[in-house]
Amino acid sequence: MASFLSSLRYLFSDFIGEGDGTPPFLPAGLPESAEPDVSEGIHLLMDYQGARYARLYVERLRRFVGKPGVDEAMFGEIARLMAMRMSYQDPIRIAQLKLAELNPATGDPPAGAPDDVRQFRLDELVEAIPATIAEPILYVLERLGWVHKEVSIRFSTRNRGGIRRLRIEAALRRWRRFSIRYARERVWVERWLHMIDRALTRQPAAASAIVQTATMVQGYGAAYRQGLADWHAIIDGLAKPTFDGVLPLRDLAGAVAEARAAALPDPRQAALKRTIADIRARALAAAETATV
């Protein structure tokens, strides 16, 4: 019976990505100057989610090893920013980071450690748990009109009760891969990488600007939602139509910089939308004039 339970535990751990704690190897052909960034990214993602997740990071990086137009500096930035985005700040991650502040020998918090209070939306909290549980909860919240309701969550190491709660929250890491948020983040990272690929093919001078757009999407709560919405507005309004040949935008890098400068903490995105519309109008007018 003990042998059966041991085997079952092993299979279950492998299924959720916790069975193999061996870090992946650095990609073959990796630029030497990028090795520190990639190594740091691997160790970050090992801590964040485990070996399988770190291997996904390495597999994503391999597509840019030796790719024309990707110099060492750009490769290093892709590696650094991808690790940042793959370690997105959900409540599970914040609990992990708070626990990391404890003294490793005694388990005691640092002297005078304050409570850490964060503001989340209800849907953001629910989307961090497995989708099979989250979806009916989100349905109820939507019916009640509470989906966007903000709540304060306290992450405390000041007493045993707070530390115990942090450990429970951090343990949800095992289920993160089945969450709505994980699936959404995976799609986002793949789209960002796809846009870099397309820039390298269609407008290489803009590739670095597309790489750097990852810095728009950070944090949690309202700031995260705003940055994500602004990123999609710029990609859908400027980058994608340029790559598709629909928008004759010769200086995509400059256009992205102009649009990013107009992105304000405004849920309506009024200034950003006006700027994107103006950039598009100028590009189309310039193309029409050139054909006359």
Smallest Cα–Cα separation from 64: which of 52, 74, 51? Answer: 74
Residue 114: predicted pLDDT: 77
3-state secondary structure 47-75: HHCCHHHHHHHHHHHHCCCCCCCCCHHHH
For every residue of 140-179, DSSP letters joined together read: HHHHHT-TT-EEEEEE--SSHHHHHHHHHHHHGGGGGGGB
7's CB contacts (< 8 A; 6+ apart) are: none
Q: Contacts for 184-190 with beta carbons within 8 Å, 24 or more apart?
A: 184/127, 185/85, 185/86, 185/88, 188/85, 188/217, 188/228, 189/60, 189/82, 189/85, 189/86
What sign results for the dihedral spanned by CA atoms 82, 115, 223, 165?
positive
Predicted TM-score of the model (pTM): 0.89
**Separation CA 205–CA 271 (nearest Å):** 26
Residue 16: predicted pLDDT: 46
- pLDDT per residue as tens digits for the range 118-157: 999 999 999 999 999 999 999 999 999 999 999 999 998 8
Looking at the chain, the whole-number percentage of residues with pLDDT higher than 70 is 93
- pLDDT per residue as tens digits for the range 219-274: 999 999 999 999 999 999 999 999 999 999 999 999 999 999 999 999 999 999 99
3-state secondary structure 173-229: HHHHHHEHHHHHHHHHHHHHHHHHHHHHHHCHHHHHHHHHHHHHCCCCHHHHHHHHH
More confidently predicted of 272 and 104: 272
- pLDDT per residue as tens digits for the range 167-215: 999 999 999 999 999 999 999 999 999 999 999 999 999 999 999 999 9
More confidently predicted of 231 and 5: 231
- pLDDT per residue as tens digits for the range 46-62: 999 999 999 999 999 99
